[in-house]
Structure formats: structure tokens, C-alpha cells
Amino acid sequence: MPTRNISAHLKYYIEDNKDGMARGSNIRLLFNSAAPNNYVNGIQLAGNSVVIQTKGSYFVYSNILFLTNNYKRCELLAEKVWKHVVKLIRASLGTVEDLLLAYHTCCNECERERTTSYTAGIFNLNVNDSLYVEVTSEGIRFEPTFSYFGLTLMEAPPLNDVHM
């Protein structure tokens, strides 16, 4: 399998939620497979996760645009700190780990706060490793138009080691 152009770019949405409000904590974001400008090449989608098909070094990124519920001031929100996490399930070990993590603390002076949480890095991933995104954010509305996840293969191992 050629290793060039192995990549994905997908938009998120929150399940069964017409107003985009996050309810509860540790909310696993879903990929909106019908969104325009999405693409997947050489990476498998499995429910709410992407599954690596080629071992190598990947640039992984995630962006969330959010605003407070009804533009509430920070002191009126139940949670003051919101978390944005890219999770990695290591297939060979059966473990789940935080691959990327970003925190945001709300602002009392920001009455109509719109905030972007962006996190990215380069990681060695193996075949069948899977990635998904969680947020903790009671009272936060996510804007799906500007919330997305992606990854691209930067460097693959030699061909005799690609699918190990």
C-alpha cells in the first residue's frame, strides 16, 4: 500500500442534540460523515473512532469552537474548566491513554465568549490503534462548523515493517 496521502479530516457533532449543547461530562464526540469537506484516505472509520491501517508517525490535530450556554457569565456556569482530549486506544496493549489534552478556563469578563481549543502533535501509531475525542463541558455549546479532527501520515517505516 502506498504511504502517501494517508490522512483524514472530519467534522464533529454531538449525538441527539439539536441545540449543540453538551450535557454531562466525558462526552465522546461523533464524526459527521455527511459534512462537506470531510475526507478519509487509508484510514478506517469505526463508529466514533479512526483506526490506523499503516504504522508510522502521524500528525494528529483536533479543534473545538465553543461558546457558553446562553452567553452566561463564567460565575453562572456549573463548570469553570473545560477539557478537550484526544484519546488513543493501543490495540496491542488494550490500553486507553490521553494522547493530546487541552484545558480552557472560562472568563468572568467575557459575556459572549467564543473560544477555540486546538491541540496537535506528532505520534508513532501502530496498525489497529484507534483515536477518538472527548470533551468535558456541562453548559458549553459546540459549533460543528468549526470543530474538527484530522491526522496525516508523516513518515512510514520501511515496507517490510509497515503492517506490524
CA quadruple 76, 78, 82, 86: dihedral, nearest 10 = -150
Best CA proximity match to 92, nearest among 8, 18, 164: 164
pTM of the model: 0.82
pLDDT at 2 over 50: no
The pLDDT value given to residue 98: 96
The pLDDT value given to residue 54: 95
Best CA proximity match to 81, nearest among 135, 119, 137, 134: 137
Mean pLDDT (the chain, rounded):
80
The pLDDT value given to residue 53: 96
Is the separation of the CB atoms in 79 and 139 below 8 Å? yes
DSSP string, 129-148: -EEEEEEE-TTEEE-GGG-E
The pLDDT value given to residue 47: 82
Domain 7-155: give its CATH architecture.
Sandwich (2.60)
Residue reference for cell 455527511: 34
pLDDT digits (tens, 9 = 90+) for 70-97: 555 667 766 677 888 999 999 999 999 9
pLDDT digits (tens, 9 = 90+) for 119-133: 999 999 999 999 999
Question: For the chain, what are the domain ranges?
Answer: 7-155
Percent of all residues in the chain with a pLDDT value above 90, rounded to a whole number:
38
